[in-house]
A and B are shown apart, each in its own frame.
Chain A
Amino acid sequence: MLSHAIFVLILPLVSAAIIALFLRRSGGIAAAVSTLTAAAIAVIAVMLALGNARFTAAYEWMRFGDFAISLGFKFDDLAALMLVIVGIVGLCVHVFSLGYMHDDAAKARYFGGLSIFMFSMLGIVFADNLFMMFIFWELVGFSSYVLINHWHEKQSASDASKKAFIANRVGDFGFLLGIILCYWLNGTVNLTELAAKGDAHTLVFSTLVPLLLFCGAVGKSAQLPLHVWLPDAMEGPTPVSALIHAATMVAAGIYMLCRINVLMVPDALTVIMWTGTATALYAALCAITQSDIKKVLAYSTLSQLGYMVAAFGLGSMAKDPDPNLRDGLIIAAGVGAAMFHLTTHAFFKALMFLGSGSVIHGCHHEQDIFKMGGLRTRMPLTFWTFTIGVAAIIGFPYLAGFFSKDAILYLAFSNNKAVFALLALTAVLTSLYMVRLWKLTFLGTPRSDHAAHAHEGGLTLTLPLVLLAVLSLVAGYTAFYPKVFSGVFDHIPEAHGSAHFIIFLTSVSVMAIGGTIGYFFYKSTPTDTLADKVPGLFAVLSALKNSFDGAYDYYVAKIQQRFALFVNFFEQIFLAGLIVRGLAGFVGLFGLGARALHVGNLNAYVYWFLLGLVALWLFATGVVTL
């Protein structure tokens, strides 16, 4: 089984290498290579997960004295679940890309990018220690950068890719510090060894370690305040948004938190919980005013990621944790709920992103929902699959999102009522903006020529939609999953009795309230109904959305840029001017003087000779001393 794991990790790297080295000009073959690779990954991933083999293995990669970096596999139920998600969503996105990117000029680069992304993501999934995870963490950042920047001739795309990379760097710096601190305290960053130490009560805890590691998740999973890159990342091709910026890479932050749950301490969990809750609510508020179909989905992704982070932070179901019980056990429920929501979200959000890709493709790259409308009859398959996705995310009873969101709400209900209230409010907003998006896009009459002439794409565009729609229908039933994921799904909190009734009622009513407002308030008009009727609220929400970008713009332009100017001035004057140029100038000046002595006349040299003789004489007789 280990050989399968190694094979599945190396395969996309080989594919990317082949495409980069030999297939740069032949996009069609590159697409085939990359898609076949993705198919192989999906098949082997499912085989690995269903086969009951769970193993760890490590190979030493480099050694510096006592310190060694190893590359290893930790394949447990958590990794198996993530592997299956990455494999299935990856395959769907590859197939969808065949149709969506069919006429792209740089198809080879695109599919090479997808392959290198698959490699990096699988590296994170398999990583058995934090250093290895960090390496692949940076690699997904790089592949995300490459793919956002795919249409690099567009200024906005190249800006967005830089923004994504830099925002991630900020978080990754904290992540790296956290890894180093963890190594310093515990002498190991191997996940299995850390867990063993936790069981043996020899683990050294520090609030700083989980918080610094959480910084990495804040960057990668786009939590407040580093969320700014994700909406801009929508400049990339839509399948990329589905794969990287909705289903897998941004979920890597949650996955990483679940990996390091043994290191968690209560204070850190509180911070994580509130960060997640704030992100969920903030992003949901921002999503209401968006007019770009992908931006709505991007903010929705942010909001759902906030849900997962909050679920993780909420921790255990135990009301009064046994003080002897270490935190690894305490937050099992949080891990279960977060990973459950991650799983369902990966399917329905990938479905909606691919659905939006299908819409954008059908409408000739029109992304403004106010210029769409009436697509229900023109793109029926996209409409129905998208409807399933919307129903799943807003928590329509007995669809995927309903179960996972209920698990989180129940966890919040029993642990922290304030978080529960905020998450319920977020759920109202979620169904509001999702129904708004759905209605404006698919119902009513077309509001532009592109929408009027919209058409369904080919089989490559629709097949992934159908597969993901089926998964969105059934992914919420934990009984549906094979027993092989029990290591994760056994921890999902399930409400019973009166609590079950309260949660069910809350969940259905928030969905109904939000959905009803969304459906009846918004009219199929070319302008935003909210902006027309309540311009004040619209302005407030827009300002809320722009507040972070504005603050960062101010910081970069006014503070950082000035500091950079000062440092540059110092460098120019002191280092370059005084030390480097000054030294060169001194030597040059000396040379200028020395050159004047070289007159080319032998008689003049005799004078110099005489002068030297006199100087020597003066020195020798002691008239002049040094």
Chain B
Amino acid sequence: MTSATLDHYVLISALLFAIGFFGVLLRRNTLVVFMCLELMLVASTLALVAFSRFNGTMDGNVFVFFILTVAAAEVAVGLAIIVALFRKRHTIQLNELNSLKN
């Protein structure tokens, strides 16, 4: 069994990012879209950690800490918004959340 190389990590990271991205593009449920957004963040985090590990520097790891902090704050605010939205509108389906248009 060969050990994992940088390419593997980047590939997984890209796959995760693509899943997250297409989820954002295609899903209609706000909660799922939100989770997909988190998935994209995590994918980039994974890539950065891998770069840091293989370059032997701490730069990527520092970035990861920042991303985690921001993501945590974003999740807190985002989930709060979604809960508030559901209370107000009784739905979190994106195609029904278009009152600005009409």
Residues of A within 8 A of B (CB): 598-603, 606-607
Contact = CB atoms under 8 A, between A and B. Distances in A.
A535 to B, nearest CB: 84
8 contacts: A598-B101, A600-B102, A601-B94, A602-B94, A602-B97, A603-B25, A606-B24, A606-B25
A600 B94 CA distance: 9
A268 to B, nearest CB: 78
B26 interface: yes
Contact of B101 (A600, A603, A606, A607): A600
Contacts of B3: none
Contacts of A601: 94-95, 98
Pick the 10 closest A-B CB pairs, nearest first.
A600-B101, A600-B98, A602-B94, A606-B25, A606-B24, A603-B25, A601-B95, A600-B100, A598-B101, A603-B94
Contacts of A599: 101
Interface string B86-102: 00000000110110111
Contacts of B101: 598-600
A269 B101 CA distance: 81
B33 interface: yes
A598 B102 CA distance: 10
B18 to A, nearest CB: 13
Contacts of B33: 602
A607 B25 CA distance: 7
A600 B24 CA distance: 16
Given A600-B101, A600-B102, 13 more contacts: A598-B100, A598-B101, A599-B101, A600-B100, A601-B94, A601-B98, A602-B97, A603-B25, A603-B26, A603-B28, A603-B94, A606-B25, A607-B25
Nearest to B99: A600
A607 B21 CA distance: 11
B102 to A, nearest CB: 7
Contacts of A603: 24-26, 28, 94
Contacts of A607: 25
B41 to A, nearest CB: 16
A606 B98 CA distance: 15
Contacts of A602: 33, 94, 97
Interface in B25-80: 25-26, 28, 33
B76 to A, nearest CB: 21
Nearest to A602: B94
A602 B101 CA distance: 11
B20 to A, nearest CB: 12
A29 to B, nearest CB: 67
Nearest to B101: A600
A351 to B, nearest CB: 84
B91 to A, nearest CB: 13
A606 B94 CA distance: 12
A600 B99 CA distance: 8
Contacts of A600: 98, 100-102
A599 B95 CA distance: 10
Q: Which of A599, A601, A602 has the most CB of B within 10 A?
A: A602
Nearest to B98: A600
Nearest to A607: B25
B51 to A, nearest CB: 20
Contacts of B100: 598, 600
A599 B98 CA distance: 8
Contacts of A606: 24-25
B32 to A, nearest CB: 12
A601 B28 CA distance: 10
A601 B100 CA distance: 10
Contacts of B26: 603
A420 to B, nearest CB: 93
A606 B30 CA distance: 13
Nearest to A598: B101
A402 to B, nearest CB: 95
B87 to A, nearest CB: 19
A560 to B, nearest CB: 56
A607 B28 CA distance: 14
B40 to A, nearest CB: 12
A502 to B, nearest CB: 102
A600 B95 CA distance: 8
Contacts of B25: 603, 606-607
A359 B26 CA distance: 99
B82 to A, nearest CB: 12
B21 to A, nearest CB: 9
A237 to B, nearest CB: 68
B16 to A, nearest CB: 18
B95 to A, nearest CB: 6
Contacts of B24: 603, 606
A600 B26 CA distance: 15
Q: Which of B25, B26, B100, B102 has the most CB of A within 10 A?
A: B25
A607 B24 CA distance: 10
A601 B24 CA distance: 12
A604 to B, nearest CB: 9
B56 to A, nearest CB: 28
B86 to A, nearest CB: 15
A292 B62 CA distance: 109
A612 to B, nearest CB: 15
Nearest to B33: A602
Contacts of A598: 100-101
Nearest to A600: B101
A602 B94 CA distance: 7
A63 B73 CA distance: 71
